Amino acid sequence: MGWRKTHFFMNLFILRHGTAVNSEQDLKDFDRKLSEDGILQAIKIADFLKNENIEQIICSSAIRAFETANIVDQIIKVDLFEDFKTLYLADLKTIKSVIAEIAVKKNVLFVGHNFGISDLATDLTGKSIQLSTCMLVKTELEVQNWSLISNDTCTLKSITEPNSL
């Protein structure tokens, strides 16, 4: 009887926040809310994600990212929902570090901002990916622990835009 190699697949869903309202003079960028279009985008993506068994959401605590993640959570109902101020306009290194430290579930949704989020999708998949608002990238990792996430460790499974739903 030979040894059978077992595979442990984890999925990372990478979602850029929905379209935000335009900047106002007295409103900080961090505090920009979703526009009506952004809310509709988030609802479409959430409906699309209903059957993906996402168990954890990690997001920026900037209002537009948090609102996007919250709309998704209201529809898919995850076990863990965590937001971090350090993810606001974070670079690739910061995002990967937070995911490696915080992700504990098999299927994780990360909600963030450009350019770090596009850099993340590109780095992990080895494909050039530029995320527009509320664009979703599904990746699959063949690792046993989130701490092993690094460049080219993910397979690109799909890219979904809310306007295509």
- Local structure of residue 152 (DSSP, 8 states): T
The pLDDT of residue 120 is above 70 = yes
* pTM greater than 0.85 (yes/no): yes
pLDDT digit string, tens, across residues 23-74:
777 789 999 999 999 999 999 999 999 999 999 999 999 999 999 999 999 9
- Asked whether 89 and 116 are in contact (CB, 8 A), the reply is yes
Domain ranges in the chain?
A: 10-19+33-164
SS3 label, residue 34 = strand
Whole-angstrom distance, CA of residue 71 vs CA of residue 116: 22
Confidence band for 4, pLDDT divided at 50, 70 and 90: very low
For residue 69, how many other CB atoms are within 10 A of its CB? 27
- Return the bridge partners of 68, or none: none
Given the DSSP bridges, would you call strands 56-60 and 107-112 parallel, antiparallel or unpaired? Answer: parallel
Whole-angstrom distance, CA of residue 147 vs CA of residue 99: 8
Cβ neighbourhood burial of 22 (10 Å; 0-12, 13-18, 19+): exposed
Q: Specify the CATH number of the domain 10-19+33-164.
A: 3.40.50.1240
52, two tokens: 């993906």
Q: Provide the pLDDT for residue 1.
A: 44
Phi, psi of 50 (to 5 degrees): -50, -35
